[in-house]
Structure 1
Amino acid sequence: MSVPLKWRPPLALIVTGFVGLVLVLPTLAMALVVAVSRSPDVLVASLEANWGKIALALIAVLIATGITAFVFWRFLSRPLGKLADEADKVARAPAPFATEGPYGTHEVARLADSFAVLVARLQKRSAYLETMSAHFAHELKSPLTSIKGAAELLRDEWETMEPAQRERFLSNIVADVDHLSTFGSRLRDLARADMGSGSGTVSLTDLTTDVAEAFPGLAISSKGPAGQMLPLTRETGALALHHLADNAVKHGATNLSLKLLADGVLEIANDGAPIGPAVADTLFEPFVTTRRQDGGTGLGLAIVAALLRSAGGTVALLKSDPPTFQISFCDRER
């Protein structure tokens, strides 16, 4: 949706005309009163005698109008024009929003800064979606190609295949379909995490109960100050810990400990395989996994990061061996 294109007066013209009218109108009113109250001969004689003063008054009015118009142009019209030009540049092509410029007043400078932040977030979001789309297409290509190949072989050579071969191809199809189903479910969780889930609080006891119910084979212990709450909804917290626990189980963990510190920081440790340095720096990026051959999607920890980000928190890898994660809510406290 765009603004209808029609002629609109520039701000400088409106300001200059208004200021000129304000300054000139009293002078014209006084001149009209004098003209009405005197005879024509006296008025002409008075104008001839005081033409120099009248000229100086007119010059003073023009100078005052020019100075006022310049002030409005310098601190309002030009900054808004600069703001409009920068917004137009960003709208036409991907480009950073220039925060350095003649943005005049404090309010206009704040508006420009807000525009710059908004543009940066939108461009980051656009790059994120582009990367996600590329990874999504890549992740779908392999299982779909495998399913297609297996289906074509079964269709063309069903009669001549040994039962064991048929079972192997059918098992491969089922495994690929399961992978796609898991992949789709993780993408749905990631999209839901990016949308946010509102505000709320939850206790460590409730989160421990939820995770223990989802992973009955995992020994879970928790420790923290009595009555202290975490600043996120129970659904968000349970889903984040669910993915952390699921990641731990798939890397051989049998024990998971939750430790809530007095400053609201939550530490989650497990006794699974250590995290290698090759993936430690990119652990929370989408599609980063060390279990691709086993069907890993690389979305579990990315979902955790997105969930906590939407709740005003962060997650970081505290230690690689044993794997220990740290969840904090410093952003919300600010």
Structure 2
Amino acid sequence: VPATADPDFAAIGAKLDGILDEAQKTTLAGFRLLDPHGVVIAGGGEVGQSFVAVEEVRQALAGAYASELRLRIPDQPPPPLYSVSRGTKVRVFVALPVELDGRVAGVVYMSRTPNNIVKHLYGERGKVTLAAIAILGGTLLIALVFIRTVSRPIYALIERTKRIAAGDREAMRPLAHHGTREMAALSAAFLDMAQKLQARSDSIQTFATHVSHELKSPLTAIQGAAELLRDSGGTMDEDERRRFSNNIVTDAGRLNLLVRRLLELARAENLAPSGESTTIGAALALLPVDARLEVRVESGSDIGLGISGENLAIVLANLVDNSARHGAKQVTVGAEKAGERVALHVDDDGGGISAANRARIFEPFFTTRREAGGTGMGLGIVLALLKAHDGTITLVDSERGARFEINLPVA
């Protein structure tokens, strides 16, 4: 708004006008010097204009510092990209009161367009370049560490998996480099699983071989006897016919026994703990009276065991039957509690087990009584039943007969 400035203030403005021009060239900011009434007395072509209507100027005339941020409305086309000093769309206005003897003698009114971010980055291009190099180098370092600690062990484990799947037993060994503890734990768990699966596969293959062998002998005998009876044409005397018929009945009985024991073994290996408990006395009460020997409880008959009475009876029945078949006249059973476990012992006064056979007694189908109808699966069933109940059984040295030690959890 046009206004008339006080001549004294106008003279002061005229003296300071050159200084304001130099300051504007140096700072790229616009300067206006206003008298106590808000009239421009120096600065650009707005001398004689009244800025009293401008909010920040009004606050400065009242003695307070004031500033505003306003959108620019350019009267020219946008500057080119390289003219970054004018590339922003806002302008900062600052009004600073000039006080003299406690009164506002004038106002310095300044305005400037802030630097564009592109210009700032260009001015700091050295630091920006160093930061970009540092970020790139850090990224490459992280990538190398990732490849070393994660990717390479994973690819090695994948390659090892393919070799194991192809049947390479040499592949079941630890990796050369694990990278991280988690990868080492994963690799160890995987290889442990592969070894257990391989052992299970070997066990199944061995078991299948034994089964086929055990079934083949009686089947061959039955087939041979039946063919002789068929082809005799009535010329075979009664004693021979009876002998071959008895052989067929005996071998058929052996096959029936083998099938039953196989079913018992399969049931024992797939048994899930029922949570039931029993005692030695309760389990022995389920056994039929065996006239071949005497079973005596030495100690711990009332200690609770983490196994059902039926399953413990099966375990004891197999051990007692083995003792009787090897000449024992007395079996002694006892138990002793040790923390959360119970140690049972089953002793007999029989002939014992020879040193050559001690390491093989738990092998499926191993028996020294094959001619007498032994299947060699009794101790295998015992071992599977105890394993299903977190138990173990071992053959230990004894002065006389055989001594088995069984370890089971407390009920």
Same fold judged by TM-score > 0.5? yes
Greater relative contact order (Cα 8 A, min sep 6): structure 1 or 2?
A: 1
CA distance in 1, matches of 2:128, 2:260: 83
Match of 1:265 among 343, 356, 360: 343
Which residue is equivalent to 1:194?
A: 269
Matched-pair contact (CA < 8 Å) for 1:279–1:288: no
CA distance in 2, matches of 1:240, 1:113: 35
Larger Rg: 2
1:205 aligns with 2:284: no
Q: Which amino acid aligns with 1:310?
A: A
CA distance in 2, matches of 1:80, 1:182: 51
Which residue is equivalent to 1:220?
A: 295
Match of 2:358 among 249, 272, 280: 280
Matched-pair contact (CA < 8 Å) for 1:97–1:115: no
The C-alpha deviation readout for 1:30-85, integer Å capped at 9, x for no partner, is: xxxxx86799x966654543322221111111122222333333333333333322
The C-alpha deviation readout for 1:18-40, integer Å capped at 9, x for no partner, is: xxxxxxxxxxxxxxxxx86799x
Return the structure number with greater helix share: 1
CA distance in 2, matches of 1:177, 1:45: 101
Unpaired runs of 5+ residues, structure 2, are 1-86, 91-112
Matched-pair contact (CA < 8 Å) for 2:283–2:310: no
Find runs of 4+ consecutive structure 1 residues off by over 6 angstroms.
35-39
With structure 2 as the length reference, what TM-score do the two structures score? 0.66
Which residue is equivalent to 1:119?
A: 194
Q: Secondary structure at the match of 2:141?
A: helix
Which residue is equivalent to 1:82?
A: 156
- CA pair 230-36 structure 1, distance change in 2 beyond 3 A: farther
Unpaired runs of 5+ residues, structure 1, are 1-34
Q: Shift of residue 124 of structure 1?
A: 0.7
Q: Shift of residue 184 of structure 1?
A: 1.1
CA distance in 1, matches of 2:133, 2:323: 82
- CA pair 42-138 structure 1, distance change in 2 beyond 3 A: closer
Q: Secondary structure at the match of 2:366?
A: coil
Which residue is equivalent to 2:181?
A: 106
Which residue is equivalent to 1:128?
A: 203
Q: % of aligned pairs identical?
A: 36
Which one is further off, 100-109 or 144-153? 100-109
Matched-pair contact (CA < 8 Å) for 2:229–2:241: yes
Which residue is equivalent to 1:297?
A: 375
CA distance in 2, matches of 1:256, 1:45: 100
Which residue is equivalent to 1:152?
A: 227
Which one is further off, 220-229 or 161-170? 220-229
Root mean square deviation of aligned Cα: 2.6
The C-alpha deviation readout for 1:202-261, integer Å capped at 9, x for no partner, is: 2111111123x2646542111333642222233332222221122222223332221112
CA distance in 2, matches of 1:193, 1:251: 25
Q: Which amino acid aligns with 1:82?
A: A
